[in-house]
Structures are given as structure tokens and as C-alpha cells.
Amino acid sequence: MDTSALLTQMRRGALEACVLALLEGEARYGFELVQRLGQNPALLTSEGTIYPLLSRLHRERLVETEWRESPAGPPRKYYRLTPRGREALAVFRQQWVGFRDAVDGVLGTPQNGGDTWSATVKPTTESGD
């Protein structure tokens, strides 16, 4: 099995939430996000992945941008969460717990041996149902 491809697929599903979480406390520029994520090998990513993601988050009004002077070169575009972005992050966190528990229940963890299907994910609908 190609573990690199598997990790890439798993990473893709969580990367957006990780970026939103890194922007929760302070505004950051794109390359800084790449560096922060890269501190954990499981989240290693590239500028070629981050910048399109940041552009999409901006279009969706989850982040806003501002240019700031840099002490080491040209100005940098900083990204920060909007209220809508904070809400999206909160929803992801809420859903993540149930999703993670469901996957752990199927795959097996030291606590449950993988023999339980009791964990469920309750999807949130657009209409709030």
C-alpha cells in the first residue's frame, strides 16, 4: 500500500480545519502556515496546496486578508478568521469528535478493540434540521 498517497488523502480532509484553527488566535501569512503545519509530519503541505485553499476560504468569506510590511522583503498578505470562519471552525470541531470516534470504533483502538459501532456522526444540515 502506498502510505504516502493514503496520508495525502487523509490530510486533504482535515487541512482546511487545521488552517482555520491556526488562524483562530492570530493572523498569519501563507508561508507561515506551511511552516507551522510542517512541524508535524502528518500535516506536511506545500505552498501549492495552501494558497489555493486560502483563496477558496477568502471567496467563501471564512477569512479576510490584509497586506503588512515585512522586515525581510516585500509586504506579506496576512489571513485572519472572519466571524463566519470562526463559526465554520466551531462546526468542524463539533463534527470532528463524532467522526473521529466513529472511525476509531470501526478501526479499533486500544480502548475498544474495534468491535463497537456505537459511535455515530450526526451531520449538520444547511437548514439546521
Query: pLDDT for 28-75, tens place per residue?
Result: 999 999 999 999 988 989 999 999 999 999 999 999 999 999 998 999
Instruction: Name the pLDDT band for 128 (thresholds 50, 70, 90).
Output: very low
Cell representation of residue 1: 500500500
Q: How far apart are CA 85 and CA 62, in angstroms?
A: 4
Domains identified in the chain and CATH numbers: 3-82 (1.10.10.10)
Cell representation of residue 23: 488562524
Element (H, E) at 91: helix 83-107
CA atoms within 13 A on the CB side of 28: 20
**Mean local confidence (pLDDT), 69-91:** 96
Give me Rg for the CA atoms of the chain: 17
